[in-house]
Structure 1
Amino acid sequence: MGLSFPRLHARTQRFGLGVPRGFTVSPDGERVVFVRSGSGTDRTHKLWVLDLPADGGEAAERVVAEPSALLAGAEEELSAEERARRERSREGSAGIVGYAVDAAAEIAAFALSGRLFTAELRSGTARELPVPGPVLDPRPSPDGRRVAYVSGGALRVIGTDGSGDMELAVPEDAGTTYGLAEFIASEEMGRDRGFWWSPDSDGLLVARADDRAVRRWYIADPAHPDREPQKVGYPAAGTPNAEVRLFRYGLDGSRTEVVWDRERFPYLARVHWSSAGAPLLLVQARDQRSQRVLAVDPAAGTTATVREDTDPAWLELLPGVPCWSPDGRLVRVGDESGARALSVGEDRLTDAALHVRAVLDVGPDDVLVSASAGAAAAAPETGETHVYRVSATGAERVSEGVGWHGAVRSGAVTVLVSSRPDAPGAVARVLRDGKPVAVVGSSGAEPPLRARPVLTEAGERRIPCAVLLPSWYEEGQGPLPVLMDPYGGPHGPRAVAAHNAHLTSQWFAEQGFAVVVADGRGTPWRSPAWEKAVLRDFSVTLEDQVAAVRALAERFPLDLERVAVRGWSFGGYLAGLAVLRRPDVFHAAVVGAPVTDWRLYDTHYTERYLGTPEADPEVYAAQSLLTDDGLAEPGEPARPMMIVHGLADDNVVVAHALRLSSALLAAGRPHEVLPLSGVTHMTPQEQVAENLLLLQVDFLKRSLGGFPGHQPGGRG
C-alpha cells in the first residue's frame, strides 16, 4: 500500500522537493544556476548549472556541487545559528539550500555543515576553503577574488584561492554581531542579510546588531526536563529592539560609520549598492509611517536624503526596491492614488490597473515586475499574479495563462516559473529574448490527488475565494459541512491560482467537507486600501470570513448549520476569533499556533497594525483572545476548539496557546490542547505532520457530526 496523502505531503515537503528553485542567470546569458534535490522525497539539495549554448544548441544540465561528495558521506550538521536562519526563512530541507555568486556568475559560494565551499560554475569544480566555522551566509566579491562570510559573530574575508583569511569586523562582546540580519529584519522586513560588497570589491557595508537591550525569553523542552531552556532575544511589541548600525569596511582595514538619524529612523530595512550610483539605504521610523531613502558617501559615512515618504497607516516594504536604474534614476514602488505603483525617477510607469508586488530586475530599457490586477483592472483575476515588462510605453505581460507566475532575469535571458490551478507542480521555462529555449527539469513527486479549486469572488466586497468540493460529490446529494481554511491576514494570500497550494484543502474536502479559502481585507495584492483596512482592528478579517461563507452558500452546497474553521499562525488567531466572537456562524475550530495576545508578538509586525501596548492599550485588549472583549459572552454557546502548538516555536511562542487555554478554563469553556513536542513554527517531522492532519479530521467530524456516507477518499 502506498503512503497516505498526509504522510506523502510531509515527506515531500508539500511536494516541493525535487523541484528546481533559487535561480540565477549569468549576465552573459550562458548559464542558469539553481538548486534541486534528487527526487521528490530527497531532502538534500545539490547545486546545478543549466548551460545555454550561444549558438542555439541544446541546453544541458550538470551538477557542480554534490553535498555527499563534499562531506565524504558524513551527515550534515547544523549550528544553532544556521538552524535559526532556516527557521526564519521557513527552510526545512538540507544540503545546499542557498548560495551566492559573483557579478559574472562564475563563482558560487555556499555553506555546508558549517563549512565554506566554492564552486567554479564554468568548470564544475567545487572545493572547501580552510576557515574557522561554523560559517554563515558566504558571499563572493563582485570580481570573484574573495569571499566574505560570518563566523562567531564576526565578518571575515578569504581569497577564493584559499589564502589571506582575515577578520574584518569583530564583535566587541557577546551581545553584538557583524554581518547578520537581526531577528526583526529576517522575520518581518524581508532582509535576510547583513553585509553588502562594494561594486569595486574593495570593501563592504556591514551591519552591526546589538541586542543586549532585547528582552530574553526562555523556550523549554518539557519532554526533556534535563535540558536547559533555550535563551532567545525576542523583541515583543512595545519592548526594545536590537540596535542596528552600519559601517563601511575597507579591505585595507579602514572603518567608517554610516550616519543617519537612527533615533527617528531606527529600522534599517533595505540596502542597495550597485555601480549605477551611491549606496542606497531605506530606513524606517518605528511606527513605519515615515521612511527615507538615503544615499551614502562611503568614504565620509555621511548620508543625504534622496526621498522621504509618509503614510497615515504604514509604508509597505517590497522586494527589489529601492534601487538605481542603470542610468542612475531611483526605482521605487509606492502607494499613490489608490494603487501600488512603480516609478523610475520622476516618471510613474504603472496605474491603478496593476498592483505591483515586487521589482524583479531593472534593465536599461525596462523594469521586470511581479504584479496582480489592481482596483482599476478591466476584469478580475482571482488568485493570479503575473510578470510584466514595464517601460515608458506601458506594461507588457510576459507570463501567459491563468496562474501564479514569477521570474528571474539577467540581460536577454529570463527564467519564468509558472504554477497553474489545473495542473500539479510548477514549470520553469527559460526564455531568450522572449522565446523559449529550455525547460529546467523537475523530479518532484506526483501528488496522489488532484486539487479542484473553483476560484471566484464572494459578496459585495468581491472577496477572493477558492471553493473545493469532494471529487465524489454529485449535484443533488445535499449540502456539505463547511470547513473554512484561511490564513486571512497580512502577507499570506491563500486563494491563489496554483494547484499545489490547494492540495491539503482538497484532501479535507475528500473527507466530506466543502472547503472555502477566503482572502478578505488585510490580505495582500488587491489594493493598498484593502491591505490597510486592518489598521487598529483585526476584526474586519473575521467579518469577511462571515460575508464570504454566507455569499458562497447561495451558489455552492454549503450547510451553514455546520461550519468549522482551521488555521495556523494568523490563521490560528482568526480561527480562535471566529468561534469566540461569532459562535452563531462558526461551530468548531482548529486553532493552530495562534497569536492570542498581541503583546507577546514582535515589534515590527504588531506595531505596524496596532501601535504599541503603552500608547494603544484598548486596541490590544480588543484584538486579544484572552480578555473579556475576546471571550464570547456567557450566554453564547461554547464551540469546540482544538488548540495546537509547537513547544519549540520561537516565533509564536507556546505561551499564546497556554494563556488561551487558561482563559478558556477560567471561563468554563471546554476545549482540547494538542502540544507538539520539539516542533517549531514549522511542522517538518513526517509523523507529526501526518497525524496532525488526521487528528484534525477526527476532531472536526466529532464536533460537527452528520457527515455524508459516501467518502471514498477516506484517510488517504
Structure 2
Amino acid sequence: MRYLVAALLLASLPVFAQTVAKPMNDPKTDTFLRQFAETRRFMSGRPTKPRITPDEKTVLFLRAQPTSATQTLFAFDVATGETKELLTPEILLRGAEETLTVEEQARRERMRVSAKGFTGYDLSDDGQRILVSLSGKLYVFERATGKVLELKTGPGVIDPHFSPDGKQVAYVRGHDVYRLELATNTEKRVTQGGTEAKTHGLAEFVAQEEMRRYSGFWWSPEAKHLAYTESDTTGVEKLTIVDVMRPERGGNTFPYPRPGKANAVVRLGIIPIAGGKTVWVDWDAKKYPYVATVTWKKGGPLTVLVQNRTQTEQQLLSVDAATGKTRLLLTEKDDAWLNLDQDFPRWLEDGSGFLWYTERNGGPEVELRKPDGSLAQSWVKPAAGFFGLARYVDADRTLYFYGDPNPTQSYLWRVRDGGAPEKLSTGTQGPAHEQFAHVAKSGGLSVATTQTATTMPRFVVLRSDGTRVGELPSVAVEPPFAPNAQFFQVGKEGFHASVLRPRNAKPGVKLPVVIKVYAGPTTTVVRHSMAENLLNQWMADKGFLVVKFDGRGTPLRTAAWERTVKYDFATATLDDQIAALKALAEKVPEVDLARVGIEGWSFGGYMAALAVLKRPDFFKAAVSGAPVVDWLDYDTHYTERYLGLPQEHPEAYEKSSLLTYAKDESKPMRPLLLIHGTADDNVYFFHTLKLSDALFRAGKPHDLLPLSGLTHMVPDPLVTQRQYEWVLGYFQKHL
C-alpha cells in the first residue's frame, strides 16, 4: 500500500486501490524468480555482438559474467576454437565507477541497451583496431600488440566510429561533431555552433525510437568529408521527468513530439573533415520532413531516404556532395504506411546498382535496382519470409538474410545472384528461431544465433559450405527447466498460437488462462524461443495455462494483414485475441473460458487494459505494464503512421484511447493492476496516472504499482523479482 500512497502524493490524484494479493509462492522454496532476475533472464554470460575479422581467423564478441551486466571483450580463434579475454572495463577504469551523461543514458534507452561496461565496439576495416567507449571516454585496442590507447578527447563522447581508412575516429561531443587523428591523438572540431536545442550529428528522438536510425553523422568513403544532421528542437514540446524519490535533484527535460504537434526540423549537411562551410542537401523538406535513412558507402553516392509526415510516401535521393543537389532514384507509396529497414539501400561496391526493400507486392521483398533507380530484378521474393539482412557479399553476388515463411520460426538463408533461397543449417534439431546472423565480408564464415523452444540461444560458427567450426562459449547459468510449449494455428484466420501448461498438469482438468499479449505492429510473440517462455512456464506451473497469439496487425504475414489496424488500434487487435482463444479452446480442453486474464507491457500493456475495460464480459483480470493510455500523448512518427494526423482523423484517436472506455460507466470494472516506471521517457508515467484518474472519476476501483526511478526497461533484478511476484499474486487472487 505504501507504493499506492507514494503515487497518490506524487500525482495528487485520488485512486481507489484494492490490496494486491500476497504471492502464494514462498521465496524460501521457490528460487526460480530470484535466479531469473539475477541472471538477467538467464542471458548474462552468453555471447553477444559477434564480429568476424576480415581475415576470418577471429570472431570478436562481448560477454558478461553469469550474474553481472558488465560486458567484456573476447576473441574466439577459428583455427583452435580457443577463447581469450582481450579487454575489460576494470582495466580501463582502474577501479573507478562507470558514469554516463543524460544524453548517453537516453540513447541507450532508445537502443534498449541495459548492459554495462562495453555495450558495443567498432572494428576498423582492416580488422587491426578495436574502438570501445567507456564513461564517455574512448579507447583503441591494437590487436597485434595488445596495447590500449586512450584517446585525448573532451568529456561526454557519444556514438564513435572509425573512418573507412581506420586512421581517424569521429564522434559527437557537446552537440557538435569532432574527429580525432589516431597518429597524433589530436582532437579537432568539425562542425560549429551546435547547441542543446540545435544538435549536430545526433539522431533526434523519433529517429532513434521509431526509425531505428541511431546515428546522425556518416563518413564519406574516402574519409575526406562527413555528412551530418542538424536537428532543431526549438519548436518541439518539452516534457520533464523528475525522480520523485529525490526531488532535490530537479528534473531532466526532453523534447518529445506528440501527434499533431511540432517535430524536430532536420537538415542534412556535408562538411570537409577539416571543417569549413557546410553544404546543405536540397530536397522538398516541407513535403518530406523526415530524414529516415542515410548511407554513404563505397560504390554509391551519398543517399538519403526522406518521408512525408504520415509515412505514406517516401523518396530515395542521391546527393551531389559538392553542391547538395539531389536526384530522384525512386518513389514509394502506400495507402496505409511504409515500413523502414535501415539496411537499405545497400549499394553494390562496383557501383552497378543497389539493393532495396519494399512491400509493394504484398510482403517483404528485396529488389536489385540499377544506379538510376530503375528495377533490375526481384532478389528475394515476398513468399521467402525475409525479416532482416545479414550480409551482401559483393565478390560472388550472394545475399544472406534471416527469416522464414513461418513467422514463428527464423533461419539463416542464402540467395545467390537472385536465385532460390538456400537454408544454412546450424545443426539445430527441430523448429528454431535464429534472430541474428553476422557474415564475414567475403562470405567464407558466418556466426548465427539459434535457439529452439527447449534450448537457450547459442552462437554457432559456420563455414560457407555449412561446416560447423564451433560455438562461441557461454558461461551463463542454465535454467532449471525447459518450457513445454505447444504451437498451433487456430481459427479461420490461421492465428499462430502457443500454449504452456503446468508441467504436472492433469489432462482435461480446466485451468485459468493468462494471455501474454503484445498484439501491436512491429513484433510477434509466438516464437520457438526458450528464453522468451521461461517466465511464462514458471507462471504456468503455478496453475495456469499461459497462451500467446499473433493476430492481425502484427508483422511477418502479409502487408494487408499488418495494415488491418490502420486508424483503429482497439477493434481487430482485441477481437482477434478473443477469437483465437475461443478457437484454441476447441483444441485444448483445459482452457477455462470463464477464467481469462491478460498481461502485457507497452503496447501489450495498452492491450491488457483495453481488454478488461472494453470486454469485461470475457476478461476477468488484467495486469497492464507501461500502457499507452491516450495516443495523443505518444510520439509522432509511431502514432501518426498508424492512426494518421489527429487533426484529420480525430475518430481514430477517440476509438483507440483507453480513456474512452474508462469513462464508460455501463460496464463492470474487472480487477486491473497498473505498473509503470516513474522515469519512463518513452511511455511517460503520466499515461498511467491519466488512466487512474479517469477510472477514479468513473467510480472504478483498480490497483497501481509505480516502479520508482525505472524507465521503460526494468533492468533492476530485485524490482524484476518483486514485480512478477505481484503479477502472479494478482492472477492467483482474481482467477
Distance change >3 Å, CA 319–CA 498, structure 1 → 2:
farther
Matched residue type, 2:651: E
Say whether 1:332 aligns with 2:356. yes
* Residue 410 (structure 2) aligned to one of 369, 381, 385: 385
Say whether 1:202 aligns with 2:231. no
Matched residue type, 1:582: R
Say whether 1:575 aligns with 2:575. no
Matched residue type, 2:410: T
Q: TM-score, normalised by structure 1?
A: 0.94
**Correspondence for 1:642:** 673
**Correspondence for 1:21:** 48
**Correspondence for 2:566:** 535
Say whether 1:240 aligns with 2:262. yes
- CA positional deviation for 1:266: 1.2
* Residue 421 (structure 2) aligned to one of 395, 401, 424: 395
Cα contact 2:517–2:599 (8 A) shared by 1: yes
Partner deviation per Cα, 1:63-116 (whole Å, 9 max, x = no partner): 222110111121111111111111111111110001112222222212101111
Cα contact 1:468–1:516 (8 A) shared by 2: yes
* Residue 437 (structure 2) aligned to one of 407, 428, 439: 407
Highest relative contact order (Cα 8 Å, sep 6+), 1 or 2? 2
Matched residue type, 1:622: K
Say whether 1:436 aligns with 2:436. no
1:291-310 aligned at under 5 Å gives the runs 291-310=314-333
Alpha-carbon separation, structure 2, partners of 1:262 and 1:3? 58
Say whether 1:604 aligns with 2:650. no
**Correspondence for 1:683:** 714
Alpha-carbon separation, structure 1, partners of 2:99 and 2:30? 29
Cα contact 1:196–1:273 (8 A) shared by 2: yes
1:40-119 aligned at under 5 Å gives the runs 40-52=66-78, 57-119=79-141
Aligned partner of residue 662 in structure 2, secondary structure? coil
Aligned partner of residue 421 in structure 1, secondary structure? coil
Say whether 1:266 aligns with 2:254. no
The number of residue pairs the alignment matches comes to 689
Alpha-carbon separation, structure 1, partners of 2:595 and 2:146? 59
Alpha-carbon separation, structure 2, partners of 1:595 and 1:639? 19
- CA positional deviation for 1:8: 2.0
Aligned partner of residue 464 in structure 1, secondary structure? strand
- CA positional deviation for 1:5: 2.2
- CA positional deviation for 1:665: 1.0
**What RMSD over aligned residues (CA atoms) do the two structures have, in Å?**
1.6
Aligned partner of residue 339 in structure 1, secondary structure? coil
Matched residue type, 1:444: A
**Correspondence for 2:301:** 278
- CA positional deviation for 1:261: 1.6
Matched residue type, 2:431: V
**Correspondence for 1:707:** none
Deviates more, 1:677-686 or 1:355-364: 355-364
**Correspondence for 2:591:** 558
Cα contact 2:384–2:421 (8 A) shared by 1: no
Say whether 1:484 aligns with 2:552. no
Say whether 1:166 aligns with 2:188. yes
Alpha-carbon separation, structure 2, partners of 1:114 and 1:30? 31
Alpha-carbon separation, structure 2, partners of 1:536 and 1:28? 51
Alpha-carbon separation, structure 1, partners of 2:126 and 2:556? 34
Cα contact 2:189–2:275 (8 A) shared by 1: no
Alpha-carbon separation, structure 2, partners of 1:107 and 1:2? 49
Deviates more, 1:350-359 or 1:407-416: 350-359
- CA positional deviation for 1:382: 5.3
**Correspondence for 2:346:** 323
Aligned partner of residue 6 in structure 1, secondary structure? helix
Alpha-carbon separation, structure 1, partners of 2:50 and 2:535? 27
- CA positional deviation for 1:511: 1.1
Aligned partner of residue 380 in structure 2, secondary structure? coil
Deviates more, 1:277-286 or 1:307-316: 277-286
Cα contact 2:402–2:413 (8 A) shared by 1: yes
- CA positional deviation for 1:341: 1.1
**Correspondence for 1:454:** 486
- CA positional deviation for 1:449: 2.7
Cα contact 2:176–2:199 (8 A) shared by 1: yes
Cα contact 1:326–1:363 (8 A) shared by 2: no
Cα contact 2:669–2:700 (8 A) shared by 1: yes
Deviates more, 1:270-279 or 1:598-607: 270-279
**Correspondence for 1:219:** 241
Runs of 5+ unmatched residues, structure 1: 374-380, 705-716
Alpha-carbon separation, structure 1, partners of 2:223 and 2:462? 30
- CA positional deviation for 1:17: 1.4
- CA positional deviation for 1:641: 0.4
Alpha-carbon separation, structure 1, partners of 2:241 and 2:683? 11
Matched residue type, 1:466: S
Say whether 1:445 aligns with 2:455. no
- CA positional deviation for 1:237: 1.1
Q: TM-score, normalised by structure 2?
A: 0.91
Cα contact 2:449–2:459 (8 A) shared by 1: yes
**Correspondence for 2:387:** 357
- CA positional deviation for 1:429: 2.5
- CA positional deviation for 1:121: 2.9
Alpha-carbon separation, structure 1, partners of 2:536 and 2:635? 29
**Correspondence for 2:378:** 348
Aligned partner of residue 517 in structure 2, secondary structure? coil
- CA positional deviation for 1:154: 1.3
- CA positional deviation for 1:325: 2.1
Say whether 1:32 aligns with 2:55. no
Alpha-carbon separation, structure 1, partners of 2:282 and 2:212? 23
